[in-house]
């Protein structure tokens, strides 16, 4: 009996201890949860304070820049040259904030003031246009980028000679943009529109090279990137032509011809008479002339590719200014272009009849 009484007492103590430990665990958990919640609330409050402070700082910065512009406008006029820097500074701040719409508007104001003060073709417009192009690219306003690229090239073409390295850098930038239009169809053009854009670009590069060669004491090393981009353009053109059905090309023969057809008929008196009339029918030579037009276009573009590759090889072999690494880079470009050219030749043989 004593044994059973001792056992019951021990078990009761165990249950009490278990209850006390459970209670302590619950109290501890509640305490740490409350502590963590308090820390989170403190952190959130600090974050909100920092965010509010940041917004206030941005507001102060914007107000200061806008006030500076208003002071200049009131004291010196709305077209004073000092506004160029003030507008550019405000637009750059908007760009940093990723407010591209306001950045575009203020950069455009800066460009207008620059053109009024420095003329239609001036160095002062160049950095503004570069910023406008980058801003429009961020907005994905592709037509705006294209218009700005045209103006950017036009102004630089008036400021620099055709052989000036600075002008050739502009040509590279302009060419890469136009090639991107063709490859990504950024302006939603038809296949014919893309072909026309690529052909215009190829002819543009041809004129650049011709004008470059007319200048005295030129360094052909400066022309390397231009020739490479031109070759890429001609290869894109050749691929597009190869993939285009032959019946999309304008044949040299007339599409329709007139034929005279006659038949015997009886008149009201019962006599047999011969009546003739003219009909339009498709010219059997027209389709062949379309195939010939496609073949001619392919041959023209592949020939331009081969000519550009030969020019790159000549510059690489004759230049005394290129470093070993630069020559190796040209070698790699030539190898890449030759592979692409060989693929084009094979594709052209298969696609002429398609």
- pLDDT > 90: what percent of the chain? 58
Structure tokens at 56: 């206030």
CA dist 84 to 92, 96, 110, 147, 308, Å? Answer: 12, 18, 5, 21, 43
78-82, 107-111, 324-328, 342-346: segment of lowest average pLDDT = 342-346
Burial class (CB in 10 A: 0-12, 13-18, 19+), 237: buried
C-alpha triplet 140, 142, 147: angle, nearest 5°: 135
- CA dist 174 and 159 (Å) reads 16
Find all residues with CB under 8 Å of 287, minimum gap 6, and list them: 246, 247, 251
CB neighbourhood size of 227 (10 A): 22
pLDDT digits (tens, 9 = 90+) for 152-166: 999 999 999 999 999
Size of the chain in residues: 354
Q: Is 116 helix (H, G, I), strand (E, B) or coil?
A: helix
Residue 352 backbone phi and psi in degrees, to 5: -60, -40
pLDDT value, residue 144: 97
Residue 257, strand partner residues? 281
The tally of CA atoms less than 13 A away on the side-chain side of residue 230 is 27
User: Could you tell me if 65 and 93 are in contact, meaning their C-beta atoms sit under 8 angstroms apart?
Assistant: yes
CB neighbourhood size of 123 (10 A): 11
Q: Enter the DSSP assignment of 265.
A: E
Check residue 213 and give left, alpha or beta (phi > 0: left; psi -120 to 50: alpha).
alpha
- CA dist 91 and 105 (Å) reads 8
To which residue do tokens 């003060």 refer? 117
Asked if residue 120 has pLDDT above 70, the reply is: yes
Q: Enter the DSSP assignment of 122.
A: -
Structure tokens at 2: 């004593």
- CA dist 94 and 107 (Å) reads 10
pLDDT value, residue 248: 83
- CA dist 37 and 42 (Å) reads 8
Asked if residue 10 has pLDDT above 60, the reply is: no
The mean pLDDT of 299-310, rounded to a whole number, is 90
Please, which pLDDT band fits residue 47 given cuts at 50, 70 and 90?
low
Asked if residue 17 has pLDDT above 50, the reply is: no
Q: Enter the DSSP assignment of 267.
A: -
Q: Mean pLDDT over all residues of the chain?
A: 85
pLDDT digits (tens, 9 = 90+) for 199-227: 999 999 999 999 999 999 899 999 999 99
CA dist 176 to 99, 184, 206, 348, Å? Answer: 26, 12, 15, 25
- CA dist 37 and 44 (Å) reads 10
3-17, 40-54, 87-101: segment of lowest average pLDDT = 3-17
Asked if residue 195 has pLDDT above 80, the reply is: yes
pLDDT value, residue 24: 47
Q: What is the pTM of this model?
A: 0.75
């Amino acid at each position: 009996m004593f044994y059973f009484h001792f056992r019951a007492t021990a078990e009761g103590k165990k249950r009490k201890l278990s209850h006390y430990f459970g209670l302590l665990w619950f109290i501890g958990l509640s305490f740490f949860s409350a502590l963590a919640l308090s820390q989170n609330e403190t952190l959130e409050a600090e974050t909100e304070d920092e965010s509010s402070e940041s917004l206030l700082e941005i507001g102060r910065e914007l107000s200061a820049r806008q006030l500076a512009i208003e002071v200049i406008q009131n004291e010196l006029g709305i077209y004073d040259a000092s506004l160029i820097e003030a507008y550019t500074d405000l637009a750059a701040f908007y760009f940093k904030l990723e407010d591209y719409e306001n950045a575009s508007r203020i950069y455009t104001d800066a460009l207008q003031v620059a053109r009024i003060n420095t003329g239609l073709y001036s160095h002062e417009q160049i950095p503004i246009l570069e910023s406008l192009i980058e801003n429009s690219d961020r907005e994905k306003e592709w037509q705006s980028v294209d218009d700005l690229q045209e103006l950017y090239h036009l102004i630089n073409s008036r400021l620099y000679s055709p052989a000036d390295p600075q002008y050739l850098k502009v040509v590279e930038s302009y060419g890469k943009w136009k090639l991107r239009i063709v490859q990504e169809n950024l302006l939603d053009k038809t296949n014919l529109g893309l072909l026309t854009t690529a052909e215009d670009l190829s002819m543009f590069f041809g004129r650049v090279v011709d004008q470059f060669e007319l200048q005295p004491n030129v360094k052909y090393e400066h022309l390397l990137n231009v020739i490479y981009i031109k070759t890429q353009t001609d290869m894109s053109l050749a691929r597009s032509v190869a993939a285009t059905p032959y019946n999309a090309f304008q044949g040299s023969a007339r599409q329709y011809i007139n034929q005279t057809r006659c038949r015997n008929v009886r008149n009201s008196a019962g006599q047999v008479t011969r009546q003739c009339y003219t009909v339009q029918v498709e010219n059997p030579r027209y389709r062949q002339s379309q195939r010939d037009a496609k073949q001619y276009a392919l041959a023209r573009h592949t020939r331009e590719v081969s000519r550009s590759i030969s020019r790159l090889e000549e510059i690489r072999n004759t230049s005394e200014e290129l470093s070993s690494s630069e020559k190796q880079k040209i070698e790699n470009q030539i190898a890449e272009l030759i592979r692409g050219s060989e693929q084009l030749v094979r594709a052209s043989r298969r696609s002429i009849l398609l």
